[in-house]
Amino acid sequence: MLFYTAQRLVLSVVIVMVAVSILTLMLHVVPGDPAVMILGPRATPELIERTREAMGLDRPLPVQVAMFFANILRGDLGQDVFTGRAVSQIVLEQLPYTMILISVAILWSAACGIALGAYSALRRNTWLDTLSGVVSVGTISIPAFVMALYSVLIFAVWLGWLPAIGAGDGFWDGITHLILPAFAIGVAWVGYVSRIVRASMLEVMTQPHVRMARAFGLPERRITRSHILKIAVLPAVTLIGTGVAHLFSAAVFVEVIFARPGIGALLVGAVNERNYPIVLGAVLITTGIIVLATLISDLVVALLDPRQREEF
Amino acid sequence: MATHATATATEEPLVAVEGLSVDFDTPRGTIQALRDIDLTVPKGKVLGIVGESGCGKSTLAYSLIGLLAENARVAGGAIRMGEHDLARLGAAGWRDLRGTRVAMIFQDPMTALNPVTTIGQQMLDIQYRDRISRSEKRARAVEFLEQVQIPDAASKLDAYPHQLSGGMRQRVCIAMALLTQPDLLIADEPTTALDATLEMQIVALLRELQQKFGCSVVFVSHHLGTVAELCDDVAVMYAGEVVERGSARSLFHDPQHPYTQALLDCDPARIKIATRTLPTIPGTLPDLRQPPRGCAFRARCPHAWGRCEREHPPLYPGAAGQRVRCHLSDPAEDAA
């Protein structure tokens, strides 16, 4: 298990580095010179040249990437082009909002998804199973931003039950502000998780070891829990791990729609302003978190399934 | 040490299968997998069930522990075990019997154990009814792993199934089955997935432990050699029927039913004259959606004549005390 963890960690660092390199390159393909953006339309060519030098934009691309990595290692993600504040500080200010949003979305959707999937599998081919299937596929096919818009319309505008804008102040206010966005980005995942848990439960239920457990007269409840569900959740854990990336991209839309602070809102603003250091910093942190989530889900799978630990 | 539980004719058998019929509902029609099975499992003895694939021997084994497939249903008959009729037992009734009076060893040890739980935990789980402490349960688990001759048994409790070989896993399954101290142990081709040397080891182990614990065993196999080695009584099945049953000695030395004779002729271990091709029984099993009128084996039988087509043979008493479902064994035929 220790060796497996170490191996996964090294792999994770490599993935982050590759992702950041690709991102740096992609930013240069997007039209618009950051120096021009900062200085405005009336800047002299001389001034633009000096700013480009100061930002290191005149150096060859590989050097820029290398410099960026060197700075990361020193904990320096650069400065905001406009205010001169440290990017790391700005990103870390916004990060908690997004993390809470995504964590709550994952938790509620995984809990509901696993319960719904398990229920459907145990009551397969009943009308409740069919209904849950239809609803699941329905929620999967509705994009998060559409879900966000309609939930604002219904619960905030028409019914007036929940606030539509901002992150709220204090604990309870924060929670009421969290409900709609967490619902909007999580609801599709109830569908994904329940479908995969149902399918994998139906598969595990036919395995000989389940029949053997029955042959020993074990109570059905215990068979379901430790012989079926314990194995059937494994693909769902992997799915949720990789799903964090999708949740981040859904959070970008949802934060904008709900005018919520967070990485998504920060990123959209920074891209519009060609504020490269912020974009890079935000994406670096996001990539790190996504890779970390994948790592955690791999480790959870290894913890639950002894066969996984030894395959590497 | 052999327990001499000599079953006399008057002693009540552990299990009596009386006219059992089992149907499978499939989209293409109802398959009559078992038809009018009559059998007894004597106390403290080993009953072998042999026959080719698809003859219904596993279906019979599974009906003895109530684990038939979802599309199967008992169409008639009874399975008497003490005061119970296993053919009519509900889910709650079965839970009380399984793991207490009836246990089963499955065909493929590679998949029979829960892959994500340690051997020890699985052996503790099946003792959930017992009101003893965890450490006592662990001690019992080690004791039974030692009974099935697993080396270094205590350390195996923390192992996961994938860390053990197939033979070891089947030993674990046997240990688990015996741990529940069943009256009836059902073994559904427990050696089919193992190689030949392991097969003989497992059969010898089963024989030894059966005598030690004195339980009855229903041993399903298509390997005649292991059946001859292990069983006291044998039932030969063909197309969902018992075609011949009796003591192992009488069946192997003086088979009366043409199907039993053909099966024995096909056993590679019994071939005396060198041959380039292994003998087979020509033809295939009849379609069990519409079992043939008359004798089920007649299409493949070298001795079939007009009566076999018209009349379904009952179980006639055979020469060596066995029962034979063949008109050739009809005392009236001899007279004619």
Per-residue pLDDT tens for B91-109?
888 988 999 999 999 988 8
Residue A41 burial (CB count, 10 A):
6
- The Cα B49–Cα B235 span in angstroms is 5
CA B301, CA B295: separation in Å to the nearest integer? 10
Of A251-255, A267-271, B277-281, the range with the lowest mean pLDDT is B277-281
> Under an 8 A CB cutoff, do B100 and A217 touch?
yes
Q: Which two tokens stand for residue A205?
A: 């239920």
Nearest CA in chain B to A208: B112
Task: Indicate if the pLDDT at residue A264 is higher than 50.
Answer: yes
Average pLDDT of chain B to the nearest whole number: 88
pLDDT score, position A85 = 86
Q: Are the beta carbons of B98 and A214 separated by less than 8 Å?
A: yes
CB contact under 8 A, B116 and A218: no
Two tokens, residue B184: 């009836």
Q: What is the model's pLDDT at position B48?
A: 94
CA distance B95 to chain A (A): 5
| pLDDT confidence bin for B141, thresholds 50/70/90 | very high
User: Which chain B residues touch A215 with a CB distance below 8 Å?
Assistant: 65, 67, 98-99, 103-104, 106
| Greater model confidence, B143 or A174 | B143
Q: Does A222 contact B at CB distance below 8 Å?
A: yes
B98 CB near a chain A CB, below 8 Å?
A: yes
Distance from CA of B77 to the nearest CA of A (A): 22
The number of beta carbons lying within 10 Å of the beta carbon of residue A303 is 12
Average pLDDT in the A162-169 region?
A: 75
- Tokens describing residue B243: 């075609």
Strands B323-324 vs B102-105: parallel, antiparallel or unpaired: unpaired
Q: A with B: how many residue pairs have Cβ under 8 Å apart? A: 71
Supply the pLDDT for residue B278.
Answer: 79
Count of H helices and E strands in chain B?
13, 12
pTM of the model: 0.82
Give B163 or A153, the one with higher predicted confidence.
B163
Residue A60 has phi, psi (to 5 degrees) of -60, 155
Taking the domains of chain A in order of start, what are their residue ranges?
16-87, 94-308
Say if the Cβ atoms of B116 and A217 lie within 8 Å: no
Q: Are A132 and A190 in contact (CB under 8 A)?
A: no
CA distance B269 to chain A (A): 31
A209:B112 CB<8 A: yes
Cβ atoms within 10 Å of B335's Cβ, excluding its own: 6
Closest by Cβ to B117, choosing from A211, A219, A226 = A226
Q: Chain B: nearest CA to A235, how far in angstroms?
A: 14
Split at pLDDT 50, 70, 90, the class of B334 is: low
Q: Do B65 and A218 touch (CB under 8 A)?
A: no
Residue of A200, A204, A216 for testing the chain B interface, max B β-carbons within 10 Å: A216
Question: Is the four-CA dihedral B325, B71, B220, B197 of positive or negative sign?
Answer: positive
The C-alpha of A211 sits at a distance from chain B's nearest C-alpha, in angstroms, of: 8
Q: Please determine, for residue B303, whether its predicted confidence score (pLDDT) is greater than 60.
A: yes
Task: Give the pLDDT confidence of B176-234 residue by residue, as tens digits.
Answer: 999 999 999 999 998 888 888 888 888 999 999 999 999 999 999 988 888 988 999 99
The CATH superfamily of A94-308 is MetI-like (1.10.3720.10)
Query: Between residues B233 and A71, which one has the greater pLDDT?
Result: B233
B15-101+185-197+213-329: CATH architecture? 3-Layer(aba) Sandwich (3.40)
- Contact B111/A211, CB-based, under 8 Å? no
Interval B109-126: pLDDT, tens? 889 999 999 999 999 999
Nearest CA in chain A to B159: A306
Question: Which one of A211, A216, A230 has the shortest CB-CB distance to B126?
Answer: A216
Share of chain B above pLDDT 90, in %: 51
Chain A residues closer than 8 Å to B180 by CB? 216
Contacts of A79 (CB under 8 A, 6+ apart): A85, A86, A87, A277
Contacts of A206 in chain B (CB under 8 A): none
Other Cβ atoms less than 10 A from the Cβ of B92: the count is 7
- Banded pLDDT at A31 (limits 50, 70, 90): low
- Specify which residues B32 forms β-bridges with: B23
**Inter-chain touch A218–B97, beta carbons under 8 Å:** no
Straight-line distance from the first to the last Cα atom of chain B, in angstroms, rounded to the nearest whole number:
50
Report the pLDDT value the prediction gives residue A88, as an integer from 0 to 100: 86
- The pLDDT of residue B8 is above 60: no
Considering A263-272, B187-196, B211-220, B263-272, the range whose residues carry the highest mean pLDDT is B211-220
Three-state DSSP class for B284? coil
Chain A residues in contact with B65 by the CB 8 A cut-off are 215
Q: Using a CB–CB cutoff of 8 Å, tell me whether B170 touches chain A.
A: no
d(CA A67, CA A88): 16
With pLDDT > 70 as the criterion, what percentage of chain B qualifies? 96
Q: Is the per-residue pLDDT at B11 higher than 90?
A: no
Cβ of B162 within 8 Å of Cβ of A207? The answer is no
Output the CA angle A54-A83-A263, nearest 5 degrees. 105
B53 — phi, psi (to 5°)? -55, 140
Beta bridge partners of B20: B37
Q: How far is A222 from A312, CA to CA, in rounded Å?
A: 31
Structure-token pair, residue A295 = 């790592």
A211, A219, A304: residue with CB nearest B116 = A304
Which residue is closest to B114 within chain A, CA to CA?
A: A209
Contact between chains at B160 and A213 (C-beta distance less than 8 A): no
pLDDT tens track for B12-64: 889 999 999 999 999 988 999 999 999 999 999 999 999 888 888 999 999 99
Q: Which of residues 5-64 of B touch A (CB under 8 A)?
A: none
Which one of A212, A213, A307 has the shortest CB-CB distance to B162? A307
- Residue B124 backbone class (left: φ over 0; alpha: ψ -120 to 50; beta: rest): alpha
Closest CA–CA distance from residue B263 to any residue of chain A (Å) = 29
What are the structural domain ranges in chain B? 15-101+185-197+213-329, 111-181
